[in-house]
Copies of this chain bind each other. A is one copy, B any other.
C-alpha cells in the first residue's frame, strides 16, 4: 500500500540518470527528445509524479499562496475566493486557507503559521496587519497583498474597489431621487472600506448641499445592522431617514428585512435602501437591491498580477495600491430618479 514512486526509480527503469528525470519534468531544461521520451514512458508506467514539497525545498518555491480570510459569511468572500483560487490554479499555484477567527488567536500568530509553510505569497482578505509582521514578511521575501482592505502603512500592496467614488455615486443617486433625510449604517469602523465608503458618501452629500441625518454602526454583521436599523427607524416618519446607505450588501439585506417585516415599512416607498458589493443575493427579486458593484474579477486579476510580479522579481516591485471603479447598479430598492433607469 505504499507506492511512493521516486525520480530515481523512474531513472533506473528508463536507463538514465536521476537528474535526467528531473530535467524532463522541469520546464526550461535541456533534454534530448529521445531521453525525454524514454523517461515519460517509464514515468507513465510507474505512475510517477514529481513531489511538489521536495521540489519546493530545493527550489525555494512552494507554489502555495496563503490566504487569510476572517469570515465567509458575507457572500462577497466566497465568490472572491472561488475566483482567486481558479485564477491561481491557472498559474500553477494553490491556495492554503487560514481562517482568522477568534479561536485561532490573533493575525500575527496566523501569519507566523503561514510563513512556516514557505508560501510564495500571501493574500489578506479583509484583514489588517501590524507593521511588525509586515516587515517579517518582507524580510522573508514573501509578497503580501491586501484584498478589499487598504492600509496607510505604505510598503504593502492593496487591491480594493474605489470605495470613495462608490460612496459618492450612491449619494448622488439618492440626492437625484429627491431624498431629504440621509441615513448611513457603517461597517466596522476600523476598516478602510468602511471609512472610504462613508467619506465618499459624505462628500457626495456635501457637494449637493446635504448632510447626514442619522448614522448607525453595524460592524459588518447582520445583528449589528439589524440593531442599528431598529434604532434608526423605529420612530415617526419625520424623525427617521427617508433613505439609507448601508455599508455593504450583507448588512443592507438584513436592514431591509427589519424595515419590512419588523417595522412594517415599505421599500422603497417609505425608505430607500442602497448597499455596496453587488453580491448574488442583491439581485434576488425579494431584495432587488440598488448597490455599487465590486468588480471581483478585476480585483482578483489585479491581485494575481501583483503577486506574480513580486514573486518573479523579488524585492524589485514597488508596492501599489489599486482601486477599481465599480458601476452603480440601479435596481428597485431605492426610488429611481426620473433621469435614470434600472441597470441590473
Q: B-contacting residues of A (Cβ < 8 Å)?
A: 1-4, 47, 49-54, 56-57, 62, 64, 71-73, 75, 77-79, 81-82, 85-86, 89-90, 94-99, 101, 103-104, 112-113, 115-118, 136, 138-141, 253-254, 256-257, 260-262, 280-281, 284-287, 314-315
Number of identical protomers: 2
Closest B residue to A74 by CB, please name it. B78
Tell me if B284 and A257 are in contact (CB < 8 A): yes
Question: Which residues of chain B come closer than 8 Å to A104, judged between CB atoms?
Answer: 86, 89
26 sampled A-B residue pairs with Cβ under 8 A: A1-B139, A1-B314, A1-B315, A49-B112, A52-B118, A53-B62, A54-B57, A57-B57, A64-B96, A71-B82, A73-B82, A75-B78, A77-B78, A82-B99, A85-B99, A86-B103, A89-B103, A89-B104, A94-B96, A94-B97, A94-B117, A95-B97, A96-B97, A97-B97, A261-B286, A262-B285
Closest B residue to A4 by CB, please name it. B140
With a 10 A CB-CB cut-off, give which of A85, A253, A280 has the most chain B CB atoms: A85
Tell me if A256 and B286 are in contact (CB < 8 A): yes
Closest B residue to A140 by CB, please name it. B3
Query: Which one, B89, B101, B138, contacts A1 given CB within 8 A?
Result: B138
Question: Which residues of chain B come closer than 8 Å to A138, judged between CB atoms?
Answer: 1
With a 10 A CB-CB cut-off, give which of A4, A256, A284 has the most chain B CB atoms: A284
Tell me if B51 and A116 are in contact (CB < 8 A): yes
Tell me if A97 and B85 are in contact (CB < 8 A): yes
A244 to chain B, nearest CB (A): 17
Question: Which residues of chain B come closer than 8 Å to A52, judged between CB atoms?
Answer: 116-118
Q: In the bound complex, what is the Cα–Cα distance between A95 and B79 (angstroms)?
A: 17
A25 to chain B, nearest CB (A): 11
Query: Which one, B53, B72, B141, B261, contacts A82 given CB within 8 A?
Result: B72
Tell me if B96 and A3 are in contact (CB < 8 A): no
Q: In the bound complex, what is the Cα–Cα distance between A113 and B93 (angstroms)?
A: 11
**Top 10 A-B pairs, shortest CB-CB distance:** A78-B78, A257-B285, A286-B286, A261-B285, A72-B78, A72-B82, A52-B116, A95-B97, A3-B139, A85-B99
Q: In the bound complex, what is the Cα–Cα distance between A306 and B85 (angstroms)?
A: 26
Given contacts A89-B104, A118-B53, whether A96 and B99 have CB atoms under 8 Å apart is no
Tell me if A72 and B64 are in contact (CB < 8 A): no
Tell me if B1 and A53 are in contact (CB < 8 A): no
Closest B residue to A281 by CB, please name it. B281
- A52-B118, A97-B97 are known; give 8 further A-B pairs, CB within 8 A: A2-B140, A2-B141, A52-B117, A71-B82, A72-B81, A77-B78, A94-B96, A260-B285
Tell me if A136 and B47 are in contact (CB < 8 A): yes
A56 to chain B, nearest CB (A): 5
Closest B residue to A95 by CB, please name it. B97
Query: Which one, B1, B77, B94, contacts A98 given CB within 8 A?
Result: B94
